[in-house]
Structure 1
Amino acid sequence: MPGLYMWAFDPTYLIFVIPALVISIIAQAGVHSAYRKYSSVRNRRGMTGAEAAQRVLQFYGVSGVSVERVGGNLTDHFDPRRHVIRLSEGVYDSATIAAVGIAAHEAGHAAQYAKGYVPIKIRNALYPIANIGSTLSFYIVLIGILFSYGFLVNIGIILFSCAVLFQIITLPVEFNASSNAVRAIDEAGLLTEEELTGSKKVLRAAAMTYVAAVVASLLSLLRLLAIARRNNRG
């Protein structure tokens, strides 16, 4: 099948996919490097991640949110459905600069939900279709090319565009959560000024992984558009 041959030996793989992988690897290396560095530096107050999360919740007047331990490394997240902040084993009981920053960031997400932060509402509304787009769009485009169903190619591209839009909207959500975290840490005096600088570096490195994800997704979208355009010409 010529469509399958075109997909398997697609030169756009070199143009779009490999750069996206390199960018993602660099971003992941950055966050792991910052985390390793500041997860070995104990904060002077001896405040654990779990305690920091609770303090940030109190700072923003957020009630009804619990803090739990979860397995894994850097698996920290806020679950808005269950109103739970889940902190990884290296953050929950750890009294390091990195732990405070990460825990405060997740509590910053809880504050967003409590305030009715608009971008997070938009992101949640997009999630179902974005999840389908990120999972199935490439298969839909491939089937459309193989069987010359142009409408399927277009549907796949539209679905993947929704996934890209979801990631773009995620950027202000993540940056705002970090801003909430830094403000609470600073004004509540959870860390010293020097320690706060280290915590900011961890949060910035984590934010860059989301930026890298957006760039990678945009490159993937450009690849799909290039493949579809070339297929139409064929």
Structure 2
Amino acid sequence: MQWLTVFNKEMLELSRNYKWIWVPLVFILLGLMDPLTAYYMPQILDAVGGLPEGAVIDIPTPPAVDVFMMSVGQFNMIGIAVIVLIAMNTIAGERKSGVAELILVKPVRLSAYVTAKWAGYSLLAAASVFAGMLSSWYYVSILFEKIPFTHLLITAAFYSLWILFIMALTLFMNTLVKVPGVVAFLTIFILILMQIIGGIFDHVIKWTPSLTTSHLPEVLQTGEISSELWGTAITIVVLIAILLTAASFTLKHKEMA
């Protein structure tokens, strides 16, 4: 009952702030931008001008999977920034204003408080990512080559795990500091550091969460899930559990307001 109460509070707050409208719209725009740009690039270059007279624009048609992964790349840059920004104030702001103290004095279990907030924001983030992937898949299938819908669903499921990990990391940072800007900075810094380490040592650390995206093209092409992707998914689930537990423990020992 406590968990559902906090979860419903988060859903109501997200609705009142119109996040259930503008966040999915951002991902939908990110999803359709690259397929349209890639398909109409010759016309765009021709309209912009600046080419020598008589020049012929001959751009080879990129594979459908590559175009779709361009959209995923947008999610990994702009989309993740949006996700971190919408969640950077979820606990830190309530701790700073004293709202968290009022809620937890009921008493509400810290684990219920943290996990309910994580579930609410994760639901919004995962739904927005799926909406963005769906828009990209639709235009890629029309303009380039059809990607099986089942492959899209598998891809979205595994990529959503990466998004849930980012949300758990953001909430953990919320329990460490009270300043939302610092929460966003620390979260993005750690994500960038993970990307760098994962890129350098990808031949050694094959199950790091930051490598999730690198396994997705195979899923899109064949629909098969590699052992590396399964290992990455298991690692992400374990890290999410650790982060949420650590967030509850940290919040217990932090001054509320």
Provide TM-score, normalisation by structure 1: 0.33
Whose strand fraction is larger, Structure 1's or Structure 2's? 1
Provide TM-score, normalisation by structure 2: 0.30
